[in-house]
């Protein structure tokens, strides 16, 4: 069973109870729970791993990535954590799919993992500045959103009875602003939009100026 906390696209964070419930569920049904956790350190003061909770190693694996935390998107550097026999089973398959990553990328990853907490503080400071502007954009669009969410995006609910796709089409035509409709992520995204924190502050301010 695949889970993803902090969640993408909503940014919702997994509670202690949620992780404990997932572990119990995995044990009860004898299935493996795999948590994809690449947003663990992005705008998140209390990063959580499902593996820290009781009995998790019996039924859980966790994925993480350097792409988001260290701005290494495209380098395809990640990690899989869990019990030895589970990792060994994955390696039996993976060893037949590739023969290792370019050494220069591995060395870059080693340096990234040696960064101090100052790196995370600096990175999140930039995202916090961008998020404040995105929240203003959401306010200008009369959307509601969760300020406790984390990750690189803001998931916002449109006003009642407003459909995302015609809304963003009109926004693109009238204001030259493109925002991702929530329906890109499935039927439950109906009535939602998702805004990225990857845009520069100047671009976000420009977008805001067109709305106010």
CATH assignment of the domain containing 192: 3.90.1150.10
Question: Does residue 124 sit in the same domain as residue 52?
Answer: no
pLDDT at 100 over 80: no
Assess whether 41 and 22 both reside in one domain: yes
Triad 85, 86, 88: Cα angle to 5°: 65
Of the three residues 92, 113, 134, the one that is the final residue of a domain is 113
The number of folded domains in the chain is: 2
pLDDT value for 99: 76
d(CA 151, CA 44): 8
Can you spell out the DSSP letters for 87-130?
HHHHHHHHTTT-----HHHHHHHHHHHT--HHHHHHHHHHHHHH
What pLDDT is stored for residue 101 in this prediction?
Answer: 83
* Global pTM value: 0.88
Cis peptide before 6 (omega within 30 of 0): yes
Residue 170: its pLDDT value, please? 95
Question: Is 46's pLDDT higher than 90?
Answer: no
Same domain flag for 95 and 189: no
Question: What is the reported pLDDT for 12?
Answer: 93
| Residue 67, pLDDT score | 92
21 and 105 fall within a common domain: yes
Claim to verify: residue 141 and residue 94 sit in the same structural domain: no
- pLDDT (0 to 100) of residue 73: 87
Is residue 149 within 8 Å of 12, Cβ to Cβ? yes
Q: How far is it, in rounded angstroms, from Cα 179 to Cα 169?
A: 9
Residue numbers of the domain that contains 34: 2-113
Domain CATH code at residue 95: 3.40.640.10
Residue 97 has pLDDT above 90, yes or no: no
Average pLDDT of the residues in 49-55 = 96
| Same-domain status, 48 and 108 | yes
């Amino acid at each position: 069973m695949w889970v993803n906390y902090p969640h993408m696209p909503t940014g919702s964070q997994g509670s202690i109870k949620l992780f404990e419930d997932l572990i119990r569920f995995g044990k009860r049904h004898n299935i493996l729970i795999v948590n994809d956790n690449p947003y663990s350190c992005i705008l998140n003061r209390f990063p959580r791993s499902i593996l820290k909770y009781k009995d998790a190693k019996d039924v859980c694996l966790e994925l993480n990535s350097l792409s988001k935390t260290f701005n290494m998107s495209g380098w395809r550097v990640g990690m899989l954590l869990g019990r030895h026999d589970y990792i060994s089973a994955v390696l039996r398959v993976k060893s037949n799919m590739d023969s290792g990553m370019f050494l220069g990328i591995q060395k870059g990853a080693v340096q990234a993992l040696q960064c101090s907490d100052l790196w995370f503080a600096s990175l999140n400071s930039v995202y916090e500045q961008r998020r404040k502007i995105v929240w203003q954009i959401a306010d200008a669009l009369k959307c509601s959103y969760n300020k406790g969410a984390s990750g690189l995006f803001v998931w916002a609910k449109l006003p009642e009875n407003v459909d995302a796709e015609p809304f963003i089409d009109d926004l693109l035509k009238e204001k030259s602003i493109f925002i991702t409709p929530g329906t890109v992520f499935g039927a439950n995204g109906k009535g939602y939009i998702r805004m990225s924190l990857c845009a520069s502050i100047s671009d976000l301010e420009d977008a805001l100026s067109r709305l106010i």
